Amino acid sequence: MAKIKEPRTPSKFPKVLNKEQVRKLITAAKERSSSWTGFRNYVILLTFLDTGIRRKELLELRLRDFELKRHSLRVHGKGAKERKVYFGPKTFRVLRQWKKIRNKVEPIWDETIFLSTSGEKLKPRNLQRRITVI
């Protein structure tokens, strides 16, 4: 054991929300979900919370990555690694609904699941602003 190096401990731990904070966040997003962008942001939030995927992974999700019957998404993660993430019934319902109303924006320029109002892939900064506003 003396030859084994001690694992590095992170200097900064991630901030974790408690149950009450998560509930408030979901409630605030749901209250704003009557518009196309509001519903998109609500679906994004539920997807983040239910799957734990990273921002870049969410932004790279394409329609072909959906496996709604299996309640899963194929995620392209760090280091070009691919994995499946699973989601619950509530996220399933909103993702299925989002898939139907996603096409109401014209024209669509990208095959990613979450689009901007101009039909393009969401940019990281834009997504960060949406989540911060919620």
Region 122-129: mean pLDDT is 87
- Domain extent, residue 35, equals 19-133
Residues 91-121 pLDDT 10s: 999 999 998 998 887 888 888 899 888 888 8
**72 part of a folded domain:** yes
In the structure encoding, which two tokens stand for residue 125, read together? Answer: 């900064």
Q: Give the whole-angstrom CA distance, residue 77 versus residue 51.
A: 13
Residues 32-69 pLDDT 10s: 999 999 999 999 999 999 999 999 999 999 999 989 88
**7 part of a folded domain:** no
Region 2-15: mean pLDDT is 81
pLDDT, residue 74, reads 94
Region 130-134: mean pLDDT is 65
11 phi/psi in degrees, rounded to 5: -75, -25
In the structure encoding, which two tokens stand for residue 112, read together? Answer: 């990613």
**14 part of a folded domain:** no
Share in percent of the chain as helix, strand, coil (round to 5): 50, 10, 35
Using the 8-state DSSP alphabet, how is residue 3 labeled? T
- pTM for this entry: 0.84
In the chain, how many domains are there? 1
**13 part of a folded domain:** no
CATH of the domain at 106: 1.10.443.10
pLDDT, residue 127, reads 85
Region 79-98: mean pLDDT is 92
